[in-house]
Amino acid sequence: MTEVVPRRERLRIETTAEIKQRAWASMAEVGTDALSLRAVARQMGMAPSALYRYFASRNDLLTALIIDGFTGLAGALRKAFDESCRRGDGAADVWLAVCAGYPMQHSEAQFLVTLQALTASVARS
């Protein structure tokens, strides 16, 4: 039997997804540094204070986007690895295939945010 997701939870999931989608689009247009929760709320026709019920801060939203970016990258790596195992390719071939394909399969903003997060984490270590 399929578990029924309560209506309120479905709406929260849908709104969260729309916030993220609009944030990606905004970053593609104006850049990561210019991302504004107020602007995203305005695009959605909601009060800025309402958006803070979903993400407590701009950094929380960016963190969620970075997690989504790395999750997408991990999925792309897994898919490329599975395909390369069937073909007998080496690890370098897998990495090159992912690097070539990931930016084309995702928006430029998603790719850049993921890359910025990776670069920042490497710089801190």
Residue 16 lies in a domain: yes
Return d(Cα 23, Cα 121) in angstroms, integer.
Answer: 22
Q: Are 80 and 58 a contacting pair, CB within 8 Å? A: no
Q: Are 98 and 80 a contacting pair, CB within 8 Å? A: yes
CA 87 to centroid of chain Cα atoms: 30
Q: Are 98 and 73 a contacting pair, CB within 8 Å? A: yes
The DSSP element (H or E) to which 35 belongs, if any, is none
Domain that holds residue 120: 7-124
Residue 12 lies in a domain: yes
89-120 pLDDT, tens digit per residue, is: 776 776 666 666 665 566 655 666 666 665 66
Residue 38 lies in a domain: yes
Calculate what percentage of the chain has a pLDDT beyond 70.
71
Instruction: Report the pLDDT value the prediction gives residue 83, as an integer from 0 to 100.
Output: 77
Residue 2 lies in a domain: no
Tally of structural domains, the chain = 1
What is the token pair recorded at 117? 């997060």
Residue 42 lies in a domain: yes
Return d(Cα 5, Cα 85) in angstroms, integer.
Answer: 38
pTM of the model: 0.71
Residue 81 lies in a domain: yes
- Where residue 30 falls (left for φ over 0; alpha for ψ -120 to 50; beta otherwise) is alpha
CA 24 to centroid of chain Cα atoms: 8
Residue 65 lies in a domain: yes
Residue 13 lies in a domain: yes
Q: What average pLDDT does the structure give for the chain?
A: 80
What is the token pair recorded at 66? 């970075």
How sure is the predictor about 125, in pLDDT bands with cuts at 50, 70 and 90?
very low
54-81 pLDDT, tens digit per residue, is: 999 998 998 898 888 878 777 777 777 7
The domain spanning residue 86 has which CATH number?
A: 1.10.357.10
What is the token pair recorded at 31? 């850049």
